[in-house]
């Protein structure tokens, strides 16, 4: 993998794949910032139908926050074990991370079905539009993360080694980023409702 | 290069259609970008001629109503997303790795994906003409005109999804440029010695990364409004059309600098070489690019002075917009000082680059007019604005792009573009451009609104409109000469040596055209003009450049320590993934059956990409 390492004279030395993910995530910050700003601008302009205060409860999102934060710990452990040369433990923690991500998605689906049951749909009012869009794009990112983690833990497991920890580190960067976005959404959408 | 100490790599198949469809070579990808942009420039140029024909005389009936709106929208969208951006990306792709002494871009397959996504995204966008009508709401797509209520057809959907596909292409190519320029520079090539074209490409990559997601989010919201019944831009249900304008222009204004900064980089390469002097004020020019990039994110609402923002907001954006003049003027003065006292060679690249400086100054000055809120209120949405941005985009970006093509054509093809045809092209383009767009300043001041498809006689607009139309056809003739010149020179152009212009930067140290691996030995850089070090200075490493590529290599032990060269293997999967995304988008607009096909192609492509090793040779001999 000679090309992933910087040229001998470069001042900046970092694996190119890791830098690429960092740069991509920097770009994603603007994407979520645009969505969250749109939510902040619009969510109080409800003309009819449920408002944020009426529709949102804290139970499921709080549990989901804990699930995602725990999953980040699992991801950190997966990387640490891989660097210690313990590939089996690393894969186990990767699968744990993915499983917690799936739990998050299941609970999110339960929450959505409760909303729909109570008449909060994407088209009922601007709050509904913005709420489903912000949380939906985040959930889609969690789903992509779960697929990515599973393909590293299962599909590429033979390539995992302390020298090739970048496979875990890159998906880890993405996963922590998705967690951080959730923390922002939790505060803006749920705590400030 | 037979005497080289380095084992030259296995070179993959270089002939045939399949070799192009599977290429991961940055040079071939650069050529694909440039050819694609050239093809779309023909379409966008024909659209411009249709517009100018319709406006030549009052009450004309060549292109009216909705058809005019479609052509107007597609002209703007095409020129921005399918011509100027990709041709700059293509030149960057070809030249920047050579300039920094790299063997390829940091992610060769992602690079291939980017060019296929651009080509397929551009075709997808233009497919709308055949499938129910092109988008017709302007390249800025203001809400609520784009809502389902007012735009019932699929044109807007083609526009939304086409721009998303092109956005994916831009984001991937930008990630690639950032990693390439930061990580793959030759030994000794510090950021403080980085050629200006690489500098501006780097800054532009960051601008794309931070601007593109904003329009991407806005386009998603618009798509949801149209198809899921959400209310983001629907004022009747509490939505906000101004939200679209903010999200669009938060992208749209940096986009202006995305299109001009690499062009400034080209000019900063061409002027010193043809003035036979170092660039005056290298550091100031480099840092002013960064400054323009930063300030570019704080000026977007100057496109919205007329929508009724509070005075204090308008005042802030007015002041910030005027601030852009400072780093821009720094560049202009440095370019003039570069030419000043130089032993200038008036070859075609120099003519276009010098014209760039003059025309861009005119565009910059009318930009200052528009940054002043009261003036903007007078001339907003008039032809004054059309004149202004064509002076920056055509007089600016396009003149610099043409300069770059004349400058690097010998490197890319091994042949010169014809000098006599080049001068004819320059004369026609310069005269035609000014005849077309200078009168538009006066049309705007005389109150002619933009985006109208006709006008009544007796308003004092007839003469200038006719003049502009005549100019447009002279301009088009200039491009005909350009294309003829390219075609002729490819077949029978004068053979170019490796270093035809007595260049300053590393790309002139390798053969014309360069071998697939660029350099047999990665050169070591000691200054901002590494090619001149070899030729002229008292530097102990300096040696005159001979015409044979092998002679350019330095003595043993002097170059960077060598690893065996491995070229990345060709791959069809980037194209398959790009095709999958395009088919998926087609399914969203036309028949749902395309959706699963697109997803399958995408999934297949990703799975095979991930499991295919980038360097099969290196993998088999660890």
Distance, CA of B245 to CA of B240 (rounded, Å): 9
What's the pLDDT tens digit per position in B93-148?
A: 999 999 999 999 999 999 999 999 999 999 999 999 999 899 999 999 999 999 99
Q: Are B494 and B410 in contact (CB under 8 A)?
A: no
Among candidate residues B451, B452, B441, the one with its CA nearest the CA of residue B378: B441
Burial of B325 (0-12, 13-18, 19+ CB in 10 A): middle
Contacts by B59-66 with C-beta closer than 8 Å and gap 24+? B59/B454, B59/B455, B59/B456, B59/B457, B60/B454, B63/B453, B64/B453, B64/B454, B65/B453, B66/B133, B66/B136
Cβ separation A27–B228 shorter than 8 A = no
Instruction: Report pLDDT for A14.
Output: 86
Instruction: Report pLDDT for B621.
Output: 43
Interface size between A and B, measured as CB pairs under 8 A: 150
Cβ separation A3–B211 shorter than 8 A = no
B328 catalytically annotated: yes
Burial of B104 (0-12, 13-18, 19+ CB in 10 A): buried
Q: Are B598 and B590 in contact (CB under 8 A)?
A: no
Mean pLDDT for the stretch of residues B176-201: 95
Among partner residues A7, A28, A155, which is closest to B185 by beta-carbon distance?
A7
* Residue range of the domain that includes A172: 15-44+54-191
Kindly state whether residue A3 falls inside one of the protein's structural domains.
no
**Is B418 touching A (CB cutoff 8 A)?**
no
Residue B413 has pLDDT above 70, yes or no: yes
CB count in 10 Å sphere of residue B392: 21
Mean pLDDT for the stretch of residues B32-55: 97
What band does B6 get if pLDDT is binned at 50, 70 and 90? low
Rg, C-alpha atoms of chain B: 25
- Contacts of B261 by beta carbon, 8 Å cutoff, 6+ apart: B200, B203, B204, B207, B289, B292, B293
Chain B residues touching A137 at Cβ < 8 A: 220
What band does B181 get if pLDDT is binned at 50, 70 and 90? very high
pLDDT more than 90, % of chain B: 85
Q: What are phi and psi of B480, to 5 degrees?
A: -60, -45
What band does B4 get if pLDDT is binned at 50, 70 and 90? very low
Q: Which of B103, B109, B226, B331 is catalytic?
A: B331
Q: Look over chain B and give the mean of its residue pLDDT values, rounded to a whole number.
A: 92
Residue B7 has pLDDT above 70, yes or no: no
**DSSP result, A113-161:** HHHHHTT--TTTSHHHHHHHHHHHHHHHHHHHHHHHHHIIIIITGGG--
Distance, CA of B233 to CA of B239 (rounded, Å): 5
Q: Are A38 and B232 in contact (CB under 8 A)?
A: yes
Mean pLDDT for the stretch of residues B309-333: 96
Mean pLDDT for the stretch of residues B8-31: 86
Chain B residues touching A8 at Cβ < 8 A: 187, 560-561
Instruction: Please list the residues that pair with B495 across neighbouring strands.
Output: B415
Burial B354-375 (b: 16+ CB within 10 A, else e): bbbbebbbbbbebbeebbebeb
- Contacts of B518 by beta carbon, 8 Å cutoff, 6+ apart: B97, B98, B101, B102, B103, B104, B510
Mean pLDDT for the stretch of residues A62-90: 96
Task: Give the residue with greater pLDDT, A193 vs A69.
Answer: A69
Cα B229–Cα B73–Cα B455 angle in degrees, nearest 5:
115
What's the pLDDT tens digit per position in A28-44?
A: 999 999 999 999 999 99
Residue B322 has pLDDT above 90, yes or no: yes
Give me the number of domains chain A comprises: 1
**Is B171 touching A (CB cutoff 8 A)?**
yes
Instruction: Report pLDDT for B562.
Output: 58
Report the residue of chain A nearest B620, measured CA to CA: A1
Cα B419–Cα B420–Cα B424 angle in degrees, nearest 5:
115
Q: Which of B23, B73, B77, B170 is catalytic?
A: B170
Residue B265 has pLDDT above 60, yes or no: yes
**Is B103 touching A (CB cutoff 8 A)?**
yes
Please give the domain boundaries of chain B with CATH numbers for all domains: 17-620 (1.20.210.10)
Report the residue of chain B nearest A5, measured CA to CA: B183
Instruction: Report pLDDT for B617.
Output: 62
B185 catalytically annotated: no
Residue B419 has pLDDT above 70, yes or no: yes
Distance, CA of A35 to CA of A29 (rounded, Å): 10
B347 catalytically annotated: no
| Alpha-carbon distances of B154 from B65, B95, B588, rounded to whole Å | 18, 39, 10
Q: Are B462 and B468 in contact (CB under 8 A)?
A: no
Interface of B with A in 202-221 (CB under 8 A): 209-214, 216-218, 220-221
Q: How far apart are the first and last CA of chain B?
A: 26
Report the range of poorest mean pLDDT among A163-167, B13-17, B241-245, B595-599: B13-17
Q: Are B114 and B169 in contact (CB under 8 A)?
A: yes
Tokens 């704080």 belong to B298
Instruction: Report pLDDT for B514.
Output: 94
Chain B residues touching A135 at Cβ < 8 A: none
Cβ separation A10–B107 shorter than 8 A = no
Burial B12-28 (b: 16+ CB within 10 A, else e): eeeeeeeebbbbbbbbb
Cβ separation A35–B103 shorter than 8 A = no
Which 3 state secondary structure label does DSSP give B1? coil
Q: Which of B68, B107, B116, B139 is catalytic?
A: B139
Interface of B with A in 553-582 (CB under 8 A): 560-561, 563, 566, 568
Mutant choice from A1, A5, A11, A16 vs B, greatest count of B C-beta within 10 A: A16
The minimum CA-CA distance between B601 and chain A, rounded to whole Å, is 17
Length of chain A: 193
- Contacts of B228 by beta carbon, 8 Å cutoff, 6+ apart: A122, A123
Sign, CA torsion B118/B121/B127/B132: negative
Instruction: Look up the pTM and report it.
Output: 0.93
Among candidate residues B317, B326, B327, B313, the one with its CA nearest the CA of residue B297: B317
| Alpha-carbon distances of B458 from A116, B373, B451, B455, rounded to whole Å | 61, 30, 19, 9
Name every residue in A having a CB less than 8 A away from some CB of B.
1-3, 6-12, 14, 16, 19-20, 23-24, 26-28, 30-31, 34-35, 38, 41-42, 45-47, 122-123, 125-126, 128-130, 132-133, 137, 151, 155-156
Q: Are B498 and B510 in contact (CB under 8 A)?
A: yes
Among partner residues A7, A45, A129, which is closest to B186 by beta-carbon distance?
A7
Cβ separation B615–A8 shorter than 8 A = no
Sign, CA torsion A176/A177/A179/A183: positive
Among partner residues B209, B216, B238, which is closest to A42 by beta-carbon distance?
B238
* B458 membership: H or E segment, kind and range: none
Mean pLDDT for the stretch of residues A119-148: 96
Distance, CA of B337 to CA of B301 (rounded, Å): 34
Instruction: Report pLDDT for A4.
Output: 55
Sign, CA torsion B285/B291/B297/B301: negative
Distance, CA of B345 to CA of B184 (rounded, Å): 33
Cα B87–Cα B88–Cα B89 angle in degrees, nearest 5:
90
B450 catalytically annotated: yes
CATH number at residue A121: 1.20.120.80
B255 catalytically annotated: yes
Among candidate residues B89, B31, B29, the one with its CA nearest the CA of residue B262: B89
Kindly state whether residue A173 falls inside one of the protein's structural domains.
yes
Mean pLDDT for the stretch of residues B358-379: 96
Instruction: Report pLDDT for A11.
Output: 60
- Chain-centre distance for alpha carbon B601: 29
B268 catalytically annotated: yes
Mean pLDDT for the stretch of residues B156-181: 97
Distance, CA of B614 to CA of B571 (rounded, Å): 9
Cβ separation A27–B568 shorter than 8 A = no
Over B236-255, what HEC string results? Answer: HHCCCHHHHHHHHHHHHHHH
What band does A3 get if pLDDT is binned at 50, 70 and 90? very low
Sign, CA torsion A170/A172/A173/A177: positive
Instruction: Report pLDDT for B537.
Output: 64
What's the pLDDT tens digit per position in B524-580?
A: 898 899 888 777 765 555 444 433 333 344 444 455 555 677 788 899 999 999 999
Q: Are B206 and B178 in contact (CB under 8 A)?
A: yes
The minimum CA-CA distance between A54 and chain B, rounded to whole Å, is 18
Cβ separation A27–B209 shorter than 8 A = yes
Distance, CA of A151 to CA of A46 (rounded, Å): 42
Chain B residues touching A151 at Cβ < 8 A: 610
Kindly state whether residue A176 falls inside one of the protein's structural domains.
yes
CB count in 10 Å sphere of residue B38: 18
Cβ separation A19–B104 shorter than 8 A = no
Cβ separation B243–A42 shorter than 8 A = yes
**Is B356 touching A (CB cutoff 8 A)?**
no
Instruction: Report pLDDT for B538.
Output: 57
B13 catalytically annotated: no
Distance, CA of B521 to CA of B8 (rounded, Å): 10
B551 catalytically annotated: no
Among candidate residues A121, A117, A115, A129, the one with its CA nearest the CA of residue A56: A115
What band does B618 get if pLDDT is binned at 50, 70 and 90? low
Distance, CA of A142 to CA of B540 (rounded, Å): 57
Interface of B with A in 222-251 (CB under 8 A): 224-225, 228-232, 237-240, 243, 247, 250
DSSP A43: T
Instruction: Report pLDDT for B556.
Output: 40
Cβ separation A26–B102 shorter than 8 A = no
Q: Are A6 and A13 in contact (CB under 8 A)?
A: yes
Kindly state whether residue A137 falls inside one of the protein's structural domains.
yes
The minimum CA-CA distance between A10 and chain B, rounded to whole Å, is 6
Mutant choice from B99, B147, B214, B239 vs A, greatest count of A C-beta within 10 A: B239
Instruction: Report pLDDT for A5.
Output: 52
């Amino acid at each position: 993998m000679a090309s992933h390492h910087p040229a001998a004279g470069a001042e900046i030395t970092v694996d190119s794949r890791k830098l690429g993910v960092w740069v991509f995530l920097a770009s994603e910050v603007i994407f979520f910032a645009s969505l969250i700003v749109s939510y902040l601008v619009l969510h109080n302009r409800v003309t009819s139908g449920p408002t944020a205060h009426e529709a949102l409860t804290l139970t499921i999102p709080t549990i989901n926050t804990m699930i995602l934060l725990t999953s980040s710990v699992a991801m950190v452990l997966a990387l640490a074990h891989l660097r210690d040369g313990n590939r089996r433990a690393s894969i186990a923690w990767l699968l744990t991370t993915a499983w917690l991500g799936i739990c998050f998605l299941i609970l999110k689906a339960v929450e959505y079905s409760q909303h729909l049951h109570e008449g909060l749909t994407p088209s009922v009012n601007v709050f509904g539009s913005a709420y489903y869009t912000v949380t939906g794009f985040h959930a889609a990112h969690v789903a992509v993360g779960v697929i990515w983690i599973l393909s590293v833990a299962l599909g590429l497991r033979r390539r995992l080694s302390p020298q090739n920890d970048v496979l875990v580190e890159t998906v880890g960067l993405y996963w922590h980023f998705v967690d951080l976005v959730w923390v922002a959404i939790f505060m803006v959408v749920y705590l400030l409702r | 290069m037979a005497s080289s100490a380095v084992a030259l790599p296995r070179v993959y198949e270089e002939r045939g259609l399949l070799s192009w469809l599977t290429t991961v070579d940055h040079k071939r990808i650069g050529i694909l970008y440039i050819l694609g942009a050239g093809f779309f420039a023909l379409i966008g140029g024909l659209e411009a001629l249709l517009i100018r024909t319709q406006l030549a005389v009052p009450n004309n009936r060549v292109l009216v109503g909705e058809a005019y709106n479609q052509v107007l929208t597609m002209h703007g969208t095409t020129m921005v997303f399918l011509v100027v951006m990709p041709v700059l990306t293509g030149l960057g792709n070809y030249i920047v790795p050579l300039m920094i002494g790299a063997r390829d871009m940091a992610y060769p397959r992602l690079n291939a994906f980017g060019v296929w996504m651009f080509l397929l995204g551009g075709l997808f966008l233009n497919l709308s003409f055949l499938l129910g009508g092109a988008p017709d709401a302007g390249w800025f797509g203001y809400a609520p005109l784009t809502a389902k209520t007012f735009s019932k057809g699929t044109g807007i959907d083609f526009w939304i999804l086409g721009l998303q596909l092109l956005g994916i292409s831009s984001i991937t190519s930008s990630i690639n440029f950032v990693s390439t320029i930061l990580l793959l520079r030759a030994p000794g090539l510090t950021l403080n010695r980085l050629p200006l074209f690489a500098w501006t490409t780097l800054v532009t990559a960051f601008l794309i990364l931070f601007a593109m997601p904003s329009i991407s989010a806005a386009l998603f919201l618009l798509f949801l409004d149209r198809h899921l019944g959400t209310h983001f831009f629907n004022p009747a249900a509490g939505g906000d059309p101004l939200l679209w304008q903010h999200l669009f222009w938060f992208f749209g204004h940096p986009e202006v600098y995305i299109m001009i900064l690499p062009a400034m980089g080209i000019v900063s390469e061409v002027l010193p070489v043809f003035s036979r002097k170092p660039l005056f004020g290298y550091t100031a020019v480099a840092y002013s690019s960064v400054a323009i990039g930063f300030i570019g994110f704080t000026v977007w609402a100057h496109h919205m002075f007329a929508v009724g923002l509070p005075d204090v907001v308008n005042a802030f954006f007015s002041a910030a917009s005027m601030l852009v003049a400072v780093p821009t003027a720094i560049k202009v003065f440095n370019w003039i000082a570069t030419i000043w006292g130089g032993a200038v060679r008036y070859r075609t690249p120099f003519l276009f680059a010098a014209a760039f400086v003059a025309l861009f100054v005119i565009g910059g000055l009318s930009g200052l007019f528009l940054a002043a809120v009261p003036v903007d209120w007078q001339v907003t949405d008039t032809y004054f604005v059309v004149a202004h941005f064509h002076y920056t985009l055509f007089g600016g970006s396009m003149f610099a792009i043409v300069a770059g093509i004349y400058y690097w054509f010998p490197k890319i093809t091994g042949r010169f573009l014809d000098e006599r045809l080049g001068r004819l092209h320059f004369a026609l383009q310069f005269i035609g451009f000014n005849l077309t767009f200078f009168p538009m300043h006066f049309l705007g001041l005389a109150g002619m609104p933009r985006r109208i498809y006709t006008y009544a006689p007796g308003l004092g607009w007839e003469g200038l409109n006719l003049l502009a139309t005549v100019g447009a056809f002279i301009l088009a003739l200039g491009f005909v000469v350009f294309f003829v010149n390219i075609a002729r020179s490819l077949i029978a152009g004068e053979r170019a040596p490796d270093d035809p212009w007595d260049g300053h930067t590393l790309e002139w140290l390798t053969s014309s055209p360069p071998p697939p691996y660029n350099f047999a030995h990665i050169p070591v850089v000691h200054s901002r003009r590494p090619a001149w070090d070899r030729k002229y200075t008292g530097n102990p490493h300096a040696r005159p450049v001979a015409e044979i590529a092998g002679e350019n290599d330095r003595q043993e032990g002097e170059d960077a320590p060598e690893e065996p060269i491995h070229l990345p293997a060709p791959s069809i999967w980037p194209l398959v993934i790009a095709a999958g995304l395009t088919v998926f988008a087609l399914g969203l607009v036309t028949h749902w059956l395309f959706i699963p096909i697109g997803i399958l192609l995408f999934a297949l492509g990703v799975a095979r990409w991930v499991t295919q090793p980038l360097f099969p040779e290196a993998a088999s001999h660890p």
